[in-house]
Chain A
């Protein structure tokens, strides 16, 4: 499939080769497919959100891109990074380890457990640079680590560098993780629900740090979350995942104001605290996300979709000018209408 470049559907795609080029990415455990056919391109400095409920396969997609899938899970398809001469899917550890932390870095969901409890925070930041020899020696790496901790606005960065993780709060730890991720000025930063475990008050600060961090480095951002508001404030484009498939994609503006896929529509309605039905109840999506492997055949959303018909038993085609803009639904929400009450 060729990539249509230029302005389409309100989305400007970079004219140059994308930083990240994911084609037909799948994740399988034995015979069971958990993620299907994900296509994703991110240009230099572009910020893309990947949203969906838990269990939709968005974190697995991120791990597959990083080559960090848990034992027993396999990736298929292709993941290419600008400036890296090989496909990350199927690459050996030797090659992957040179790319990870240098060209592509990641911030994880759980700040409380993401840092080694027996190692000083500064050493953990410095290690990221020493592994890739982006600093010549321990001392300059240690200095750079303090500098990075200052950049993520830890109070008393020199003291913080000497602290152990348990002496920092969750928000502070997550900032350390961001510092580690940004240490080698990666071309792509992947954030997997980095604010989910944090207090609301700390979330905004961290989001700001992440956005400033990637902007200062002209780095691309892939931001995974279930929180629509977070995507709206941090990202330009968005992909909506459900049941291991990308069901809709487009600019944040378009997708959030004129959703086409019925799942996106439901998701938006459910997050709208003003939208209530005639009995004054908040909108929800009927049912809950099935566990892996228990999604229906055909359209993965049809067992929860109020618009589903017999037609939905086959997999809906992607409609749209490119995989960056469009949706996969037989009964899309009509254009022009605002988000509808799905329930």
Chain B
């Protein structure tokens, strides 16, 4: 088991190394010069040269990469080409906002999807189960940003119950924070719940067919307690897998949803940096997003070991 964990750590490190090269290379092949791009076409050659020197853009690519990655390891993400500000504190601020969205949306999705998917599985031959199935199918077809716009139209414009957009830090005004959080979290969470519900349904359907569930009932457990005690943990493996796979979608969904609700998160930073052609910030934000996805996949792999004892003895 220790060997397995060690292997997995090695895979994580290797994946991070490869993806950092990919992200860096992607930005390095950019036609044109980041310094000129940042300063605009009218900048004097002297100013461009100065900026290039300041950010080490005149050095060989390999050295630039090592400097960037070395900085990353020390939580130093460098300086913005455009505003010259330190990037790390900025990203930390924005990340906090995005994490609020993503984590609450994930919790909402799980809380909704597990009971709904289970009911759908238990009633998969009945009209109520099929109706829920159809609803979830529609939910899957609505992207988060679209849900956001529709939610604004209904709850902010028509009913006026909640603010249409904006962001207030929780420490500043907790009430306002919650009110502004509701709609973006709903738009991310509902869509996520719809996707997850379908996987919970099929996982529970699979478990319901398992022989050990019949054994549990032969012991005298009623169907629901049997499912709860014996099915839940076994159904968790595929569901957790999907949750991890969905994280990438959720993060990118948050990028667009932040735009819809004018929320100063990581996504807004990414999009603003793209418009400003502030490529070092783009590079950093993309790397942080990739890091988050790989890290969660790693944690999920460890979670498998906790959930399923069979995995502990593999290899």
Residues of A within 8 A of B (CB): 66, 68, 71-72, 93-94, 97-102, 105-106, 108, 110, 113-119, 124, 127-128, 131-132, 164, 166-167, 177, 180-181
Q: Which residues of A contact B125 (CB under 8 A)?
A: 71-72
B215-253 toward A: CB 8 Å interface, digit per residue (1/0)? 111111111000001100110000000000000000000
Does residue B310 face the partner (Cβ distance < 8 Å to A)? yes
A68 CA to B219 CA, complexed, in Å: 11
- Alpha-carbon separation in the docked complex, A98 to B210 (Å): 22
Smallest Cβ distance from A294 to chain B, in angstroms? 25
With beta carbons under 8 angstroms apart, the residue of A101, A110, A128, A132 that contacts B211 is A110
Contact A131 B309 (CB under 8 A): no
Q: Is the CB of B221 within 8 A of A119?
A: no
B214 on interface, CB distance cutoff 8 Å: yes
Taking a contact as CB atoms under 8 Å apart, the answer to whether B219 and A166 are in contact is no
Given A113-B211, A164-B310, A166-B310, check contact A118 B218 (CB 8 Å). no
List which B292-315 residues lie within 8 A (CB) of chain A: 307-310, 313
**Bound: A28/B223 CA distance, A:** 22
Contacts of B218 in A (CB 8 A): 66, 68, 100-101, 105-106, 108, 181
Q: Answer whether residue B155 sits at the interface, using C-beta atoms and an 8 A cutoff.
A: no
Q: Which listed residue, B217, B222, B233, B309, touches A68 by the CB 8 Å rule? A: B217
Q: With A93-B223, A131-B220, A131-B221 as given contacts, are A115 and B215 in contact (CB-CB < 8 Å)?
A: yes
Most chain B CB inside 10 Å of its own CB: which residue of A102, A105, A118, A131 = A118
Tell whether, in the assembled complex, residue B215 and residue A127 are in contact, meaning their CB atoms are under 8 Å apart.
no
B234 touches A118 (CB 8 A): yes
Cα distance A116–B218 in the bound complex, in angstroms = 13
Residue B212 lies at the interface, judged by CB distance under 8 Å to chain A: yes
The verdict on A117 contacting B215 (CB below 8 Å), with A93-B222, A97-B221, A131-B221 known, is no
Given contacts A113-B212, A117-B234, contact A97 B217 (CB under 8 A): yes
Number of A-B contacts (CB under 8 A): 79
CA distance A39 to B235 in the complex (A): 40
A94 to B224, CA, bound (A): 11
Residues of A within 8 A of B234 (CB): 116-118
Total count of chain B residues near the partner, CB < 8 A: 23
Interchain CB contact under 8 A, A166 and B309: yes
Q: In the complex, which residues of chain B have a beta carbon less than 8 angstroms from the beta carbon of A166?
A: 309-310, 313
Q: A71-B125, A117-B234 are in contact. Are A127 and B307 (CB under 8 A)?
A: no
Q: Complex: how many Å from CA A319 to CA B230? A: 47
Q: A113-B212, A114-B212, A118-B308 are in contact. List 15 more A-B contacts (CB 8 A).
A: A68-B217, A98-B220, A100-B218, A100-B219, A100-B220, A101-B219, A106-B218, A114-B214, A116-B215, A116-B234, A117-B308, A118-B309, A124-B215, A128-B220, A177-B215
A127 CA to B310 CA, complexed, in Å:
21
B215 touches A102 (CB 8 A): no
Q: Which 6 A-B pairs have the closest CB atoms?
A: A101-B220, A113-B211, A101-B219, A164-B309, A116-B212, A128-B219
Provide the residues of chain B in CB contact with A115, threshold 8 Å.
Answer: 212, 215
Of listed B221, B229, B307, B309, residue having the most chain A CB within 10 A: B309
Q: How far is the CB of B197 from chain A (nearest CB, A)?
A: 21
Interchain CB contact under 8 A, B215 and A108: yes
Q: Which residues of B are found within 8 Å of A66, using beta-carbon distances? A: 218
* CB pair A114 B215 closer than 8 Å: yes
The answer to whether B222 touches A117, judged by C-beta atoms less than 8 angstroms apart, is no
Q: Is A114's CB under 8 angstroms from B211's CB?
A: yes
Of the candidates B212, B219, B308, B313, which one forms a contact with A131 in the assembled complex, judged by CB atoms under 8 Å apart?
B219
A124 CA to B218 CA in the complex, in Å?
12
In the bound complex, CA of A93 to CA of B217 (Å): 10
| CB under 8 Å from chain A, chain B span 105-127 | 125
Q: Which residues of A contact B221 (CB under 8 A)?
A: 97, 101, 127, 131
The answer on a CB contact under 8 Å between A102 and B220 is yes
> What is the chain B residue whose CB lies nearest that of A67?
B217
Once bound together, how far apart are the Cα atoms of A72 and B234, in whole Å? 24
Most chain A beta-carbon contacts within 10 A, residue among B216, B217, B219, B307? B219
Assess whether B219 is in contact with A117, with CB atoms less than 8 Å apart: no
Contacts of B220 in A (CB 8 A): 97-102, 128, 131-132
Question: How close is A106's CB to chain B, nearest CB, in angstroms?
Answer: 5
Q: Are A127 and B219 in contact (CB under 8 A)?
A: yes
Residue of B nearest to A98 (CB): B220
Q: How far is the CA of A115 from the CA of B230 in the complex (A)?
A: 10
Q: Which residue of A lies closest to B209 (CB)?
A: A70
Shortest distance from the beta carbon of B225 to any chain A beta carbon, whole Å: 8
Contact A97 B222 (CB under 8 A): yes
CB-CB < 8 A to B223: which residues of A?
93
Tell me whether B309 and A180 are in contact (CB under 8 A).
no
Which residues of B in the span 122-169 have a Cβ within 8 Å of any Cβ on A?
125
* B230 close to A116 (CB less than 8 A): yes
Inter-chain contacts of B217 with A (CB < 8 A)? 68, 97, 100
Q: Please pick, from A108, A118, A127, A180, the residue contacting B214 in the complex, using a CB distance under 8 A.
A: A108
